[in-house]
Structure 1
Amino acid sequence: MPVSCLSRMILQSVLLASLALAQPRCKCTFGKTCWPGEKAFNKLASQVSQPLVHPVPPESACYPANNPADNCTDVTAHSREGNWRAEFPGSMQTPYWETYTFPNGTISACYLDTTLGFSCQQGSVPVIGVDARSEKDVQTAVKFAAKNNLRLVVKNTGHDYLGRSTARGAFLIWTHHLKNITFRDTFRPVGAPQAKVYEAVMTLGSGVQWHEAYDAANSRGRLLVGGLSAGASVGAAGGWILGGGHSALSPHYGLGVDNVLEFSVVTADGRLVTANAYSHSDLFWALRGGGGGTFGVVTSVTYRTYPSVPVIGIFGAVPLTSEAIAKALVTEFIRLQPIWVNTGYGGYSNINSSALQFFFVAPNASQADVDATVQPFFDLAANLTSGGPPMQNGTVPFDSFFSWYRLLFSGGEQVGTNIFIGSRLLPLPLIQSSPEKVAETILSIEGGVLWHAVAGGAVSRVPPDSTGLNPAWRNAVTHVGAFQGWPEGASASVIAAHGNKLQGEVSKLEKLAPGSGAYFNEALPFEPRPQTTFFGSHYKRLKAIKKTYDPASLFLVANGVGSEDWDSSLNCRH
């Protein structure tokens, strides 16, 4: 090696080592002497468009001493509605993540049930933050956090099973009110050749939720690949897309990351950059699956859209009245899954020892073709359950995906309770070769599983290394989730016991397909090997890109890229 090259490498190593030594070992959190004073926060307030927010758990309205003017009746009536909870900077969709457990096992929390006898405390809810209404607001907040070495969290709606958008004593950037929606008939990504033009794209601010995005797309006669939950309250341009973004439409159109054309993102140095295939392409690669709250603050996402087309809804509700019937029907259902998803049918199922329930959507398909595909399963179910409880199976035509979505997801309650979720991706070879073994495992899991038919088909046709997403997605048929819940006010030991129980159930899925990976947005918060489980062979490259754009680790989330270099609180380096 030439001496000059060797000298350059040594100098670079020394500079990097010096940078590491210069960085504080721990983040600054509320209550420490390093925490900015009133003067600093007043100056920040003068530089942003809205007054600073002082988040509190929404349940605090039920404690007059904390919020004497608030209405507890409103909280009680709406606490399980995702869109209601999203309107509070201090609210998480899963209340557990508003709480904080000290090393000695005591819990700081603010419970909705005041009869438990606990006082209302701040828990893990950040104490102060910026209600961002513009990209400039985000830039100002990021620079403030970096200058003061603050523990920083980024939150949109609080849909988060790993607690990544909240932290005790932290400074918050709340992106929920970045609601701009722009439709463009033609679009050329920044830096792209003149001929690289896309038609009918939508740019969504990072605070836009899926119900708002779907309404806007439908008004234009367009279809958008997006997430589905009660009230469609999940953010359309935040953690959903950054973690991969699965959808019932994915087998037909691909995952969310397969439909993104461009991001606007504020990086750790406060710059607003455009990331696409031609500008900051490394960051564009990482943002498509590398996880939210990790590489910067996304302010908008530009998606391709598709013409609205008729769809066929596929519905099934089959009682499983004996072990033999359960095994036979679930085995056949699983055996058929590669056929269904590779034909472009996607959807969701709940499978347990007593029932199999599912609803799928088949875009731009004829009812005759759909019936020919699914009727054999309905016939088998009718034959095996003859004389038992009635089934509810069939196919129904809809004029659009929007109509199907409105029927199933326009309302309902899906949040506001304490829950852990664990998941695994199940690959095509396993499903094809061992459907009976998969069925036996699924039926053995306490409480059953959520079977998300959101892979295969178009998802499998995308080259595994084209995005930062875990490559396991490209060989998967389904994303399977198990869950454990517990009542409000449970002790730390009871919560830990539920976590251990769930970990045991997930290990059954892991044994089916060792190393298959999991979906980062719906997974165990205590995965033993999060780097490989969530990111697979892409982890090394993702971490290198993070060091490029965030060398001081301003952005840290639980189980995210680079988190292994920090303690469990993500406040201090190892």
Structure 2
Amino acid sequence: MFILAPLLTIALGLASVSSRPTNNCRCTFGSACWPSDSDFQALASKISQPLLHPIPPATPCYDSAAGNCTQVQTEWHDGVWRSDQPGAAQNTNWETYTFPNGTIEACYLGTSLGFPCQQGNVPIIGIDARTLADVQEAVNFAGNHNLRLVIKNTGHDYLGRSSGRGSFLLWTHHMKNITFLDSFSPTGATDSVTYNNVFTLGAGVQWFEAYEAAKERNVLIVGGFSLRGSVGAAGGWLAGGGHSALAPNYGLGVDNVLEMEIVTADGNLVVANSYQNQDLFWALRGGGGGTWGVVTSVTYKTHPPTPFSGAFLTVDSTNPNSTQTLLEEIIRLTSSLVDQGYGGYVSGSTDHLQLILLSPNVTVNQTQATFSPLFESAASQPGLSSQNETDAFPDLWTIYNLIWNNTDGNVGNPVEISSWLLPKDVVETGDPKNLAEELLKTASFEYNFVTGGQVSRVDSESTGLNPVWRNSLVYTAVVSTWQEGANETQIDAVRQRFIQDMKIIEGLAPGSGAYLNEASRYEFDWKKSFFGSHYDQLLNIKQKYDPNSLFLVYEGIGSDGWDADLICRV
């Protein structure tokens, strides 16, 4: 049985030698260079909270002194609960660590599997940042000791960028300040540049909290949609572009930001907007999270509140040909629906399809007229069992509570995902039959309405976001998972199928790109796929603000000069 080590042993390590490594390798737990007890005690005296000692979230099921196993079992698939655990990732494969020989170190919820509970890929020690000073102390400490630094808010990351074996964790999750300003002028702008009704959100604010605050102020804010709204509003979601069901009408997350505050590698607070530090502001909007520094706050513009109408369709199928016929119809309707302002999500496989599409300022009667032919087709196709509905909603808050405020999400499981953007011409003038047929060859796919419309009206050079977003009409994705406790051979079999599915969706639009927040470590050319023609410019900005690469993430700007664990330069 796993015995929870004393906190000081876990946190401070056994080494008392404080010699520093060369800059060729980061210092990790267990190395002779690991900070001494006195180093950590000095750090603890400078911060507002006790040092963190993250443990894998299933640990209480192996050692009752670590917590309540029943609660862990009950909350395991709740994204908000997982975001509250400093040692948890939303998807459990990023809590585990696989050695070169294929051995997996993990702490599984299923105690009957017979594996010991071990630290895996969970950082060993860190700071629970509540203040700007906490963030600065963490950055300075990591830099001075050349530590492998991991920044985490909610743990929503399909590339495992918020975990790291033997690393030092900066947890921004409790930086929850929300400020509403009736009038806002960006720092450095003239007095004539003002915006009404803006929100400044702290680094740890999640979308369910931001949506509630927007409801109280009677405004609309463009955000992400996930079960329980557990995704962070000021972190990786935004840095990767920030797609949303609202994007066809209001633009992506990066199109709605007015100002950002960030602690850079030198420990200084920098304000970035269109009037100062413009290069950094450009990079922060699409250049990827965890790469430029520690974002401590983001100021978003808002929009007037509006009613919505929505169309919902769920289909179960015993006839793959009928599934394909229905998907073809959705593809044919795509351009028209985006033009009408509909945004949302379509997902499925050969035996199931689900559609959720929303539009502001469209009556339910108009939505009914628009979708009736599709609904009738679904009802008439042989082998399809369908349910459909159109509804009116007074505001976004009502939609969120009805559809996404659900505790049982696709978290607490091992998940890998890969995405691909389909340009307008592929969807509008391509062959819907071929597109549907190819998507249905995958194990599970998404065909999402989170681009086009207003997204396409924004200058592709105005942000660091991959320019292919501005000419895309649809976001596609494929997903894979496996059973907890699977060995490396079993996981690799799933992964090989997943890679084949990646090839399928990327083959639909060769030369396009991916959404770097919902992407794979097996991307074939990640620099081009994630950043497109902006990579070199982003790299120059990276070298300016972080010359020693303190902030490194998997498949992030400049990471190609480091090994697979981001420990040593190659």
**TM band (smaller chain):** over 0.9
Structure 2 residue aligned with 1:115: 112
User: What do you get for the CA RMSD once the two structures are aligned?
Assistant: 1.3
| 1:71 corresponds to 2:68 | yes
Deviation at 1:324, TM superposition (A): 3.1
Aligned to 2:160: 163
1:127-146 deviations in Å (ceiling 9; x for gaps): 11010001111011101100
> Which residue does 1:264 correspond to in 2?
261
Tell me whether 1:43 sits opposite 2:38 in the alignment: no
Return the letter of the residue paired with 2:77. Answer: R
Answer yes or no: is the 8 Å Cα contact 2:342–2:359 preserved in 1: yes
**CA offset digits 1:83-117 (Å, max 9, x no partner):** 11111111101111011111111111111111111
- In the other structure, the counterpart of 2:128 is 131
Confirm whether residue 500 of structure 1 aligns to residue 487 of structure 2: no
Do 1:342 and 1:458's aligned partners in 2 also have CA atoms closer than 8 Å? no
Equivalent pair of 1:341/1:454 in contact (CA under 8 Å): no
Residues 317 and 385 in structure 2, CA contact (< 8 A), matched pair in contact too? no
Q: Which amino acid aligns with 1:33?
A: A
1:392-442, CA deviations, whole angstroms, 9 ceiling, x for partnerless residues?
A: 223111111110111001123121001111111111100112222111101
Alpha-carbon distance between aligned partners in 2 of 1:557 and 1:343, rounded to the nearest angstrom:
38
Counterpart-to-counterpart distance in 2, 1:208 and 1:70? 25
2:368 maps to 1:371:
yes
Amino acid of the structure 1 residue aligned with 2:504: K
Moved more, 521-530 or 283-292: 521-530
Q: List aligned pairs for 1:78-117, cutoff 5 A.
A: 78-117=75-114
**Counterpart selection for 1:409 from 404, 415, 432:** 404
CA contact (8 A) 1:344 1:458 kept: no
Q: Which range is displaced more, 498-507 or 316-325? A: 316-325
Uncovered stretches (5+) of structure 1, i.e. residues with no partner: 1-21
* Percentage of identical aligned residues: 52
| Partner residue, 1:542 | 538
Give SS of 2:345's match. Answer: strand
Paired residues of 2:477 and 2:505 also in contact (CA < 8 A): no
Distance 1:295 1:199 in 2: 29
1:341-420 to structure 2, matched below 5 A, reads 341-385=338-382, 390-414=385-409, 415-420=411-416
Counterpart code for 1:371 = Q
2:561 aligned residue (553, 560, 565): 565
Q: CA deviation at 1:371?
A: 2.9
Deviation at 1:321? 4.2
Q: CA deviation at 1:452?
A: 1.7
Please name the residue that 1:189 is paired with.
Answer: 186
Amino acid in structure 2 at the alignment position of 1:257: V
Deviations 1:500-523 (A, max 9, x none): 210111101111111211111111
Distance 1:465 1:499 in 2: 35
**In the alignment, residue 170 of structure 2 is paired with which amino acid?**
I
Cα distance in 2 for residues equivalent to 1:547 and 1:570: 17
Q: Report the residue type matching 2:270 in the other structure.
A: V
Indicate the SS of the match to 1:444.
coil
Q: Deviations over 1:264-290 (max 9, x none)?
A: 100000010101011110000000011
Instruction: Tell me the distance in 1 between the aligned counterparts of 2:53 and 2:519.
Output: 30
* Structure 2 stretches lacking a partner, 5+ long: 1-20
Are 1:419 and 1:484, in contact at CA under 8 Å, matched by a contact in 2? yes
Q: Distance in 2 between matches of 1:75 and 1:318?
A: 33
Which of 333, 336, 354 lines up with 1:339 in the alignment?
336
1:258, distance to aligned residue in structure 2 (A): 0.5
Q: Name the structure 1 match of 2:11.
A: none
Structure 2 Cα separation of the partners of residues 481 and 239 of structure 1: 18
Within 5 Å, give how 1:138-149 maps onto structure 2.
138-149=135-146
* Letter in structure 2 aligned against 1:505: D
- Maintained 8 Å contact 1:26/1:573: yes
Q: Quick one: which amino acid aligns to residue 394 of structure 1?
A: E
Whether the 8 Å CA contact 1:363–1:401 is kept in 2: the answer is no
1:23–1:552 contact (8 Å) kept in structure 2: no
- In structure 2, what is the Cα distance between the partners aligned to 1:461 and 1:320? 38
CA contact (8 A) 2:378 2:384 kept: no
Could you tell me which residue of structure 2 aligns to residue 19 of structure 1? none
State whether residues 295 and 549 of structure 1, in contact with CA within 8 Å, keep that contact through their aligned partners in structure 2: yes
The letter for the 1-side match of 2:212 is D
Q: Report whether the alignment pairs 1:465 with 2:461.
A: yes
Residue 512 (1) aligns with residue 511 (2): no
Displacement of 1:367 after TM fit? 2.6
For residues 73 and 381 of structure 1, the distance between their equivalents in structure 2, rounded to whole angstroms, comes to: 43
Q: Distance in 1 between matches of 2:352 and 2:522?
A: 29
Q: Compute the displacement of 1:308 (Å).
A: 1.3
CA contact (8 A) 2:137 2:267 kept: yes
- Does the CA contact (< 8 Å) of 2:323 and 2:384 recur in 1? no
Q: Retained in 2: the 8 A contact 1:213–1:236?
A: yes
Amino acid across the alignment from 1:565: G
Contact 2:316–2:353 (CA under 8 A) maintained in structure 1: yes
The 1-side partners of 2:386 and 2:163 are apart by 43
Deviations 1:506-559, CA, capped at 9 Å, x for gaps:
101111111211111111122121111111111111111000000000000001
Instruction: After superposition, give the CA deviation of every residue in 1:41-84 in whole Å (9 maximum; x if it has no partner).
Output: 001001111111010101111112xx525211110110110011
TM (norm. structure 1) is 0.94
Aligned to 2:523: 527
Deviations 1:353-379 (A, max 9, x none): 123211111112223332333223223
SS in structure 2 at match of 1:460: helix
Question: Take 1:452 and 1:60, find their aligned partners in 2: how far apart are those partners?
Answer: 37
AA aligned opposite 1:173: L
Tell me: CA distance 1:572–1:312, structure 2 relative to 1, closer, same or farther (3 Å): same
**Is contact 2:206–2:229 with CA below 8 Å preserved after alignment?**
yes
Helix, strand or coil: the match of 2:54? coil
- Note the C-alpha offset of 1:23: 6.3
Shift in Å, 1:390: 4.5
Kept in 2: contact 1:455–1:478 (CA 8 A):
yes
Amino acid aligned to 1:58: P
* 3-state SS of paired residue (1:332): helix
The DSSP-based 3-state class of the residue aligned with 1:92 is coil
AA aligned to 1:53 is: L
One-letter amino acid of the counterpart of residue 132, structure 1: A
Inter-partner Cα distance in structure 1 for 2:321 and 2:90: 38
Q: Residues of 2 paired with 1:350 and 1:284: CA distance?
A: 34
